[in-house]
Structure 1
């Protein structure tokens, strides 16, 4: 892989992962000295939540994080017959959740904040209309982490939805962690097993904890401690603190011992985080392949599923591929919803490639998706213009960032607009989120996307235009003009029919979302500056939404 040194914390991990065979077990080992410094032991991490913090720079920036959120992961081995629970305090934030994943980053189960019943004597501040300003001591919860499948053998369906849950899912205080294999009607890929130094075989689990938009620019944890694990062994022994971490080997200490590798840590399958350079180059540059040559780009070797191929062929404009721009069309760019990984990669292969699907399942695109979000994505290219001007209508959402005392309702819980690199790096550059996006009386907004050095002087609050930074690394490879613009909708209300989650078939995006599906216009910096202030009637946005350090 070829990356700039500036992305080193992310790149080191990507390089580690890309050097491992694609059929690796879950306990793949990096070479000594190659463990990235902030993949484990980063900001606010604990011995149990040992992976992270993940997010925009300077955190470990991978798998398309939202720049307004911070993520931590636990990747453990589970003692047979044990029970595990998490005790925590509801954070002062817009949202938090727990989501479990299989080996390739597909979701198994997830529980959102409002679903988690409080401990006796406490209250849940994420319930609509709840007070958000109560004492932390009266805002605690307990969540059981069950080593079981999210699968109903009678109906052959998940017990709890992982496909576009809304804001009215049932109350529950448990998270399920075992993938459902294809033989049972699922798509899950086992995390595998691991033999400890005690000779015992352990099954593995991994889950992520997310916190979005802490109140009042507070700590990334939402001004509360990280959730604490409590493990009860099969013999009845109750463990807390470091004893839990040792029993579950959450810090990979025993793994280091059994492998003889002082730098060993558990790693997910390489394709869970990004694509290897060879696969990405075939996707991005079909014109460099021999005419008619077929290169399998999905799934990775050793993984189940029908193959998807990139075909060697000429493309109309290699410099802008795969971005499209059709001025005068009702929507000038190709917006694509999130279905599965295959469909995500069809942006490059085309929907008529061998192995492509026109009716993809809504299983998530991989890269550890948040099941409570759904996404619209469009490939952009600076070859069409220095700045991309994004206009649309903003869904309503609760206001929380100023420590608002009551949990409001809205059409969605959260909306963000993010500029990312490609599937080669899966890195986020910059985001703006709902409370920082100005709207006019109709709820319309304007967001300008550009390099920092080409930012129009009127892309600022005083002129009523927002700004999101375009990564100077483009796709993270050799196309510095590429950008992947992404719109998130979280936990829509059932009565909001224009949410991303209500799209169901590729091509229905405009019919379903209407004015909530943005449109894009390219301009030069000078052309946008000539529009002056309040060029599209919008008012007020800070200099940016969330930013990375680059």
Structure 2
């Protein structure tokens, strides 16, 4: 059967699968900014329903959006929003994405395999505009809002990929690659929208259309949209304020919790580790829990490869520091801060990374409690950031922005997992997390840009003065003493 001959049959199958999987999900109330964004209706081949023509976020390709309260999973970032579509990979079809460059720091598309690893991605700067337009992420003179068209092909990535195309048809199992069938998750991410903008960057969400592989027949076009069905019914449900409540929870100081090693997560070293993938992460957690005598920097080689996990972003690399309440009521990391896009006084495209941040997370629930993004961080005279975490009741009086210390609440968790992100580093920024080979201690490559960690107690912090370097040195001495005692 040819593509044209099968288009009617595919149309019926596509409709059933898309609706059954919930791919048709988007809508909600439009903001003033998105109401003024241009529409696709006048453009040949890019037909769509009007925005908000369906209630509660139905009839659009995006099913789910990240949400600080109800969809705060897979270690997201507070300065970003993610939209998700579960895409059925039907034979002889592809997914077309019609979008506009948002007013934002960064956007991208990632597709994922069955074990939550990204298999391919497109960054904003890689996406060519439609004829006559410009890409504001690659060209400083281009204004945001011009149109682009991208595609998800349900086939393996070729040696020479097509422009504006990502490939979802293959899953890497180390020495072999196997076909990936049935379904892929497509993530659309936007970081740091422009001043006064919602996370869509003032242009609405991209339109998703399943079409035949030659692009001649649309099988299921979708409506323009603002907010997906899940988790807020197209923004119809009020905010729960759950994360605010969790931030304010103080864990009662308990003699049992204060016993070193009483809690299963975290070690007194709270070593800086690079995230390479699920296998090494699981092994490192078990290593800490069981107390296995394996030196830091030695990675256990599992049959399954690295490549990410937890729905990570190909354009980010991460370090982690896992702390436990058993060793101190204050924890912290400190490192030299890289420069970032839009940093005051920095020329366009002269940054070391597009974006960086530190988030306080809980390992078991994968939630973030709070984050410090690059544009929010307070640096000391040496250009270092210092991020400190404690319960509100244990916050040291000198842990304030005026002292170049950014404080985050611990939340009601036994662990504190500080995740540090580097996004899209420049090729000449050799100290980026992305450049640390597996099995190499991060500091050997990152130098001063590698986070150093410390446990502490509130009274030690307060007695160390106002200089963040002196405070960190005092807390590092406290941590070293824990390690020497074998606690």
Report how far residue 515 of structure 1 moved.
1.1
* Aligned position for 1:53: 65
Mapped to 2, the partners of 1:448 and 1:209 lie a distance apart of: 31
Structure 1 residues 243 and 459: alpha-carbon distance in aligned structure 2, compared to 1, 3 A threshold: closer
| 1:501 corresponds to 2:473 | no
* Aligned position for 1:378: 321
* Aligned position for 2:255: none
Mapped contact 2:207–2:224 kept (Cα < 8 A): no
Aligned match of 1:103 in 90, 95, 114?
114
Q: Which structure 1 segments of 5+ residues have no match?
A: 1-25, 153-158, 161-170, 193-202, 253-315, 327-332, 475-480, 539-550
| 1:417 corresponds to 2:358 | yes
Mapped contact 1:458–1:533 kept (Cα < 8 A): yes
CA deviation vs aligned residue, 1:166-212 (integer Å, no higher than 9, x gap): xxxxx9311111123649813x683x4xxxxxxxxxx3232100011
Aligned match of 1:145 in 152, 155, 160?
152
Aligned positions of 1:139-538 closer than 5 A: 139-150=146-157, 152=159, 172-180=163-171, 182=173, 185-186=176-177, 190=180, 192=181, 203-216=182-195, 218-233=197-212, 236-238=216-218, 241-242=221-222, 318-326=261-269, 333-350=270-287, 358-359=300-301, 363-399=306-342, 407-422=348-363, 424-472=364-412, 474=413, 481-536=414-469
Mapped to 2, the partners of 1:221 and 1:405 lie a distance apart of: 25
Mapped to 2, the partners of 1:384 and 1:40 lie a distance apart of: 46
Mapped contact 1:85–1:143 kept (Cα < 8 A): yes
Mapped to 2, the partners of 1:238 and 1:72 lie a distance apart of: 22
* Aligned position for 2:92: 81
CA deviation vs aligned residue, 1:451-481 (integer Å, no higher than 9, x gap): 2332223322233311122121x1xxxxxx3
Structure 1 residues 240 and 469: alpha-carbon distance in aligned structure 2, compared to 1, 3 A threshold: same
Report how far residue 348 of structure 1 moved.
2.3
Aligned match of 2:130 in 119, 122, 142?
119
Structure 1 residues 131 and 359: alpha-carbon distance in aligned structure 2, compared to 1, 3 A threshold: farther
Structure 1 residues 318 and 175: alpha-carbon distance in aligned structure 2, compared to 1, 3 A threshold: same
Mapped to 2, the partners of 1:495 and 1:60 lie a distance apart of: 36
Mapped to 1, the partners of 2:418 and 2:174 lie a distance apart of: 36
Q: Secondary structure at the match of 1:486?
A: strand
Q: Secondary structure at the match of 1:377?
A: strand
Q: Which structure 2 segments of 5+ residues have no match?
A: 1-16, 31-56, 231-258, 472-487
Mapped contact 2:155–2:169 kept (Cα < 8 A): yes
Q: Secondary structure at the match of 1:536?
A: helix
CA deviation vs aligned residue, 1:104-148 (integer Å, no higher than 9, x gap): 211111010100011112111111x6136x252xx2211022111
Mapped to 1, the partners of 2:63 and 2:466 lie a distance apart of: 44
Structure 1 residues 182 and 228: alpha-carbon distance in aligned structure 2, compared to 1, 3 A threshold: same
Structure 1 residues 428 and 51: alpha-carbon distance in aligned structure 2, compared to 1, 3 A threshold: farther
Q: Secondary structure at the match of 1:457?
A: coil
Mapped to 2, the partners of 1:462 and 1:205 lie a distance apart of: 47
Report how far residue 537 of structure 1 moved.
8.2
Q: Secondary structure at the match of 1:242?
A: coil
Structure 1 residues 345 and 232: alpha-carbon distance in aligned structure 2, compared to 1, 3 A threshold: closer
Mapped contact 2:64–2:85 kept (Cα < 8 A): no
Report how far residue 251 of structure 1 moved.
8.5
Mapped to 2, the partners of 1:101 and 1:455 lie a distance apart of: 40
Mapped to 2, the partners of 1:104 and 1:318 lie a distance apart of: 32
Structure 1 residues 397 and 213: alpha-carbon distance in aligned structure 2, compared to 1, 3 A threshold: same
Q: Secondary structure at the match of 1:445?
A: strand
TM-score for both structures, normalised by structure 2: 0.70
* Aligned position for 1:273: none
Mapped to 1, the partners of 2:206 and 2:347 lie a distance apart of: 23
Report how far residue 448 of structure 1 moved.
1.2
Aligned match of 2:83 in 52, 60, 72?
72
Mapped to 2, the partners of 1:94 and 1:227 lie a distance apart of: 17
Structure 1 residues 240 and 218: alpha-carbon distance in aligned structure 2, compared to 1, 3 A threshold: same
Mapped to 2, the partners of 1:495 and 1:221 lie a distance apart of: 31
Mapped contact 1:230–1:244 kept (Cα < 8 A): no
CA deviation vs aligned residue, 1:267-310 (integer Å, no higher than 9, x gap): xxxxxxxxxxxxxxxxxxxxxxxxxxxxxxxxxxxxxxxxxxxx
Structure 1 residues 485 and 370: alpha-carbon distance in aligned structure 2, compared to 1, 3 A threshold: same
Report how far residue 65 of structure 1 moved.
0.8
Structure 1 residues 365 and 452: alpha-carbon distance in aligned structure 2, compared to 1, 3 A threshold: farther
Q: Secondary structure at the match of 2:130?
A: coil
Q: Secondary structure at the match of 1:216?
A: coil
Structure 1 residues 91 and 52: alpha-carbon distance in aligned structure 2, compared to 1, 3 A threshold: same
Mapped contact 1:344–1:365 kept (Cα < 8 A): no
Mapped to 1, the partners of 2:27 and 2:459 lie a distance apart of: 45
Structure 1 residues 410 and 46: alpha-carbon distance in aligned structure 2, compared to 1, 3 A threshold: farther
* Aligned position for 1:130: 140
Aligned positions of 1:2-21 closer than 5 A: none
Q: Which moved more, 1:234-243 or 1:371-380?
A: 234-243
TM-score for both structures, normalised by structure 1: 0.63
